[in-house]
Amino acid sequence: MGAALATVLALTMYSTNRHEQRIASVMKQHEHHHVRPDDLATTERNLLLRTQQGVDAIVHSDLHGKEIIDDEILSAVVLSDVEWSIARQLRSQSERRKRIESSPAPGKRSQGVAAELLAAVEEEQRLTEGQVRTIAEYEAHVRAAGKELADLAAARELSHLKSELESANPWVEAAVSADAASLQSLTQVRDMAKRIAELAIFPEER
């Protein structure tokens, strides 16, 4: 029994090690195709986390996938491309920031050059922050429109219940039948979706 148990444990450890090795191998193969927040400086890490949280909230929102917004505009592919572009911008900025800050600057001249280089990174990052804010604004509109349409859909379901009618898709009916005031949040979502689709994509490294 003891020998059998030892054999099972050995096989389990071997299988676990092989699994970990495969994961490490895949990570190595794709090390240039992902950006881990922990690899970034604090400022860039916080911006990346904000971007990821915003994209996740949009993709998993009630509006996404309910045929309410054009799939071509509000697609996970577009959001993924924008997220990846922002991530690469932040990685580039973080790497340059670390190199500048770790370079010797013993005197006024070298310190002046370092300050200029950091200022250039900060200027570029302001543009990236604008894209991150666009994602956050988009997510806020999606959340607001989702709550509003959920309320309209619930109202329609209750109305149907009252009249003993069933609704095939109360969300779609709510979006179609909503008055102009109610549609304002949905219009804002569609406008923001177009802005997201038009964001400049950071070029791939070669």
Q: Helix, strand or coil for residue 46? A: helix
**Encoded tokens for 178:** 């909503």
Cβ of 201: how many Cβ atoms within 10 Å? 12
Q: Is residue 204 part of a domain?
A: no
Residue range 40-69, pLDDT digits in tens: 989 999 999 999 999 989 888 877 767 666
Residue range 112-168, pLDDT digits in tens: 999 999 999 999 999 999 999 999 999 998 888 888 888 888 888 787 766 655 555
What residue has token string 């491309």? 81
Burial classification of residue 131, based on how many CB atoms lie within 10 Å of its CB (0-12 exposed, 13-18 middle, 19 or more buried): buried
- pLDDT of 14 reads 47
Contact at 8 Å (CB) between 111 and 86?
no
Contact at 8 Å (CB) between 189 and 142?
yes
Q: Is residue 107 part of a domain?
A: yes
Kindly report the pTM of this predicted structure.
0.67
Q: Is residue 138 part of a domain?
A: yes
Q: Is residue 21 part of a domain?
A: no
Number of structural domains the chain divides into: 1
In order of 84, 118, 157, 197, the CA distances from 88 in angstroms are 6, 18, 45, 17
Amino acid occupying residue 20: E
Q: Is residue 34 part of a domain?
A: no
